[in-house]
Amino acid sequence: MKPSAFTYHAPTSLDDAVRVLAEAGPDGKVLAGGQSLIPMMNMRLAAPAVLVDINRLPGLDTVRVDTGGVRVGALVRHTDLEDDAQAARTVPLLRQGLRLVAHPVIRNRGTTVGSIVHADPSAEMPAVLALLGGSMEVRGPSGTRSVGAADFFTGPLETGMAEGEIAVSAYFPRPAPGSGTAFVEIARRSGDYAMCGVAAVVTLDADLRITAARCCYISVAPVPLVVDMAEAVVGAVPASADLSAAADLAADRIEPEDDIHASADYRAHLARVLTERALAEAAEAALRETAGPGPHTTGIGAMR
Amino acid sequence: MTEELHEIRLRVNGIVHTVSVPARRLLSDCLRHDLGLTGTHVGCEHGVCGACTVLVDGRPMRSCLMFAVSAAQHEDITTVEGLAGPGGEPHPVQRAFAECHALQCGFCTPGFLTLIAGYLEDNPDPSEEEAREAVSGNLCRCTGYQNIVSAVQRAAELRTAEVVGGPARAAEEAPAPQPHSEGGHQ
């Protein structure tokens, strides 16, 4: 189908963009990559009266990496972030999540910040932000503010952004030293939204004991759901960690639903299995991180 | 209701076109209806099938998921009509598709051709697995994917031979101005 008619603005300054969006009120929508918004408009699930195209705004297409983390501008395409070697070294979970986002052709146009603002509970990059405890920088008529991930995702396709605000960047903090991450998911077809996906971060101390572990779940809750796995695995070495206890913690928290793609029971089953896989992979990455550059140390086959 | 029209300049296959379109005109429809370039096909119109894939500044993108007014910000758009060389010789991907029988009804073919042409620029020597991943976002309902995957790898060979061979490739990569063989467009 074709989108319904709208008034189009393509401002060249952020101030103009914010002003035009504020004037449009609830009928206004921001267009960045459009890889979620335009399908919804084509199917007339969305029909904004005013579209503010931010693709001409200067300075929003940069990835800034410092020792603390990675700041991603609102016009950075998924592909460019995925290809950024410095960003991948600082926050490996970025690339681990990005390669699961739809197909490469969609990633060529879609933006990481746009995907987060869209806040689909099945999308990968909101989960990456939530798991790492990142934040969004948003600009509105009354200035710029930062919103932490925990306050940002408020429901399916709903965020803590107010009317008239534009997301300017996303900040992904680097995990603590000795951490490893992983992102695993299962989808019906390559590139589809996952029936369930799990991102994990595991942190080890100098004795290679787990000091912290968290997972974030997609497609099994109204928002990307972060579950602290400390009580199940902290103090153990990866090879003897009780991953089944971690899966129990997840099972208590998720709220899977039946739909055309999978039953709630199946999604719950996937959440358990993927919890164990994601934690094992993240622990393996943490062991490599702790060992530093060089040959990989202890296998953790026993964890599986 | 009369919709506001936006006058935009689109550079497609090396030729600059000026057209007036409503803001909601999808790039795919602009190419087909306003510019008459019907090689770009429209399948699902929500980004799933890949039939409408074109190259935007060299990168494969879904033309059904872009508005023409937004696409006008880009330097260059290449459709399937623009893949052939300056003398009309088929692009290595087009030759590989013919050789490997990678098309049957042909509906999905323009999307695959543009996708693979763009992909090989960044990945000149894909493994079979990489080739499979590369085309995984485009749907084909009749040829079957085996021959398409074979064609990706064959196209890579033909392309590499051309790059090593020199002149043909060099001519293809020469910047504007374009040759005037298309007769009078500007």
B-chain residues within 8 Å CB-CB of A49? Answer: none
Listing from the earlier edge strand, what are the strands of the sheet with A225-228?
A179-187, A194-204, A210-218, A225-228
Testing the interface with A: which of B53, B62, B75 to mutate, by most A Cβ within 10 A?
B62
Report which of B42, B88, B87, B36 is spatially closest to residue B64, judged by C-alpha positions: B42
Å from A79 to nearest chain B CA?
10
Å from A7 to nearest chain B CA?
7
Say whether B25 sits in a helix, a strand or coil.
coil
Which has the higher per-residue pLDDT, A293 or B134? B134
Distance CA A181, CA A246 (A): 16
Å from A36 to nearest chain B CA?
9
Q: Does B24 reach chain A within 8 Å, measured CB to CB?
A: yes
Distance CA B28, CA A170 (A): 31
Distance CA A233, CA A213 (A): 7
Q: Does A279 reach chain B within 8 Å, measured CB to CB?
A: no
What pLDDT does residue B40 have? 98
The whole-angstrom distance between residue A65's C-alpha and the CA centroid of its chain comes to 18
What pLDDT does residue A284 have? 98
Per-residue pLDDT of A179-219, as tens digits, reads: 999 999 999 998 999 999 999 999 999 999 999 999 999 99
pLDDT of A166 > 50? The answer is yes
pLDDT of A178 > 50? The answer is yes
Per-residue pLDDT of A50-101, as tens digits, reads: 999 999 999 999 999 999 999 999 999 999 999 999 999 999 999 999 999 9
Per-residue pLDDT of A110-144, as tens digits, reads: 999 999 999 999 999 999 999 999 999 999 999 99
What's the average model confidence in pLDDT over A99-104?
96
What pLDDT does residue B176 have? 43
- Taking an 8 Å cut-off on Cβ atoms, the answer to whether A104 and B60 are in contact is yes
Q: What percent of chain A has pLDDT over 90?
A: 94
User: What CATH number has the domain spanning A179-296?
Assistant: 3.30.390.50
pLDDT of A293 > 80? The answer is no
Topology, domain A7-53: 3.30.43
Which has the higher per-residue pLDDT, A302 or B118? B118
For chain A, what is the radius of gyration of the CA atoms? 20
pTM to 2 decimal places:
0.92
Q: Does A216 reach chain B within 8 Å, measured CB to CB?
A: no
What pLDDT does residue A299 have? 44
Q: Does B23 reach chain A within 8 Å, measured CB to CB?
A: yes
B-chain residues within 8 Å CB-CB of A79? Answer: 59
- Taking an 8 Å cut-off on Cβ atoms, the answer to whether A8 and B6 are in contact is yes
Q: Which of A8, A55, A105 sits opposite B137 (nearest CB)?
A: A105
What pLDDT does residue A176 have? 97
- Taking an 8 Å cut-off on Cβ atoms, the answer to whether B62 and A51 are in contact is no
Banded model confidence at residue A297, pLDDT cuts 50, 70, 90 = very low
User: Parallel, antiparallel, or unpaired for β B53-56 and B59-62?
Assistant: antiparallel
Q: Does A56 reach chain B within 8 Å, measured CB to CB?
A: yes
Q: Which of B1, B4, B60 sits opposite A108 (nearest CB)?
A: B60
Beta carbon pairs, A and B, within 8 Å:
93
Q: What percent of chain B has pLDDT over 70?
A: 88
Chunked in runs of 10, what are the mean pLDDT values of chain B (186 residues)?
91 97 98 98 96 97 98 93 95 98 97 98 96 96 95 97 63 44 38
A-chain residues within 8 Å CB-CB of B140? Answer: none
**Boundaries of CATH 3.30.390.50 in chain A?**
179-296
What pLDDT does residue B165 have? 64
Amino acid at B59: R
Q: What CATH class does A63-173 carry?
A: alpha beta
Amino acid at A19: R
ipTM of the complex: 0.92
Mean pLDDT estimate for chain A = 95
- Using CA coordinates, name the residue in chain B closest to A3: B24
- Taking an 8 Å cut-off on Cβ atoms, the answer to whether B45 and A42 are in contact is yes
**Boundaries of CATH 3.30.43.10 in chain A?**
7-53
Amino acid at A136: M
Q: Which of B 107-136 lie inside 8 A of A, CB atoms?
A: 115, 119, 133-134, 136
Distance CA B172, CA B85 (A): 6
Three-state secondary structure string covering chain A: CCCCCCEEECCCCHHHHHHHHHHHHHHEEEECCCCCHHHHHHCCCCCCCEEEECCCCCCCCCEEEECCEEEEECCCEHHHHHCCHHHHHHCHHHHHHHCCCCCHHHHHHCEHHHHHHHCCCCCHHHHHHHHHCCEEEEEECCEEEEEEHHHHEEECCEECCCCCCEEEEEEEECCCCCEEEEEEEEECCCCCCEEEEEEEEEEECCCCCEEEEEEEEECCCCCCEEEECHHHHCCCCHHHCCHHHHHHHHHHHCCCCCCCCCCHHHHHHHHHHHHHHHHHHHHHHHHHHHHCCCCCCCCCHHHC
Distance CA B39, CA B43 (A): 12
Q: Does A11 reach chain B within 8 Å, measured CB to CB?
A: no
Å from B137 to nearest chain A CA?
6
Residue at token pair 């598709």: B97
Which has the higher per-residue pLDDT, A291 or A236? A236
- Taking an 8 Å cut-off on Cβ atoms, the answer to whether B65 and A51 are in contact is no
Question: Which residues pair with residue B18 across a beta bridge?
Answer: B9
**Boundaries of CATH 3.30.465.10 in chain A?**
63-173
Distance CA B79, CA B100 (A): 22
